[in-house]
Structure 1
Amino acid sequence: MKGIVFTEFLELVEDKFGLEMLDAIIEASNLESGGVYTRIGTYNFSEMLALLTNLSERTTISIDDLLLAYGEHFFSVIENSYSGLLNTYKDPIDMLSSIENHIHVEVKKIYPEAELPTFIVEEKTTDLLIMVYKSSRAMYYFGLGLMNKTFEHFNSSAEITLEKIAKDGTEVRFIIRRN
């Protein structure tokens, strides 16, 4: 997993829960990296899982809710660092439907070693997008947070429903209906 995902997560934890909480979850997680990350480095997903688990235990916020908040936070990174990519789109459904064939292609140019989830578009109309998320990491709530902010970015809104295809969340159908 790319370091930017870790550095931004730690920044979010410090901003929302404080430096003491950040130190506590890093210490409790027994991380191979020691909790020291660079944006361009690559780290084991198990470290993110340990950080999330320890934060969830200490805050009593579910991992899904933490991932949702983190996805919404991470969208600001995309806005600030990759505004040119966002500016190629005029519509949130068009943008979301192009994750696999455009956005992830561009991410791979910047981070060639990135292990990205797969998004398969099953149906797309002007006001509906149905796509399947596949990832061994089961971070679909992170994706949901990004999707929420995508609609907000375009001054639009949607109802997004999740259907777990695999019980462990490694395959999830997103049904997105524009309001």
Structure 2
Amino acid sequence: MAWGGMQRGNGRRIWTVRGDCLTLCTALRAGQHTRASGFDAFLALRGKKLLPGMGPAYFTKILFFASPLQDAYILDQWTARSMHILSGQGRCPAVRKDYTSASKALRHNAPGMLRLIVDDKVSAADYVDYCNQVDSLSMNLGWPAHQTEERLFSSGGRAPHPWRNQVMTAWKGAGWNFYP
């Protein structure tokens, strides 16, 4: 799994302390964790500084791909923003501004450049609530849940999917100011 464009050096940093993470991944693959206990286990490692550069947006990817049930959905800035828009609230799951991108967005007058970080305040209960929302939305749409999550994420890049454009322009957090 690639780290994407955020900070590729994070892969090297996590590799230096991979033991605990690999043990957790093995337990996930063996079906020994629910989405809540897996999330809590990653948070515990993060709290002990054993996941350098890996926050909820990345470790939920591991939860999804390592879990045999694939019912622990990816929670990143795009799926969080999508759920904020669809639910009409901007508080849960919690995200915070990446101030470097916020300054860049301000300089270019381009809110779409703003990047968010899934906040460490997100608890296992918050994460399970998010997963339940994805499950509920999936049932209403008649889609498999993993497809719903993929569509919440949509695609970005130079030619973003129309939903991603909508998310970039319409998203507002609770009392949100896009710029610092």
Same fold (TM over 0.5): no
Structure with higher strand content: 1
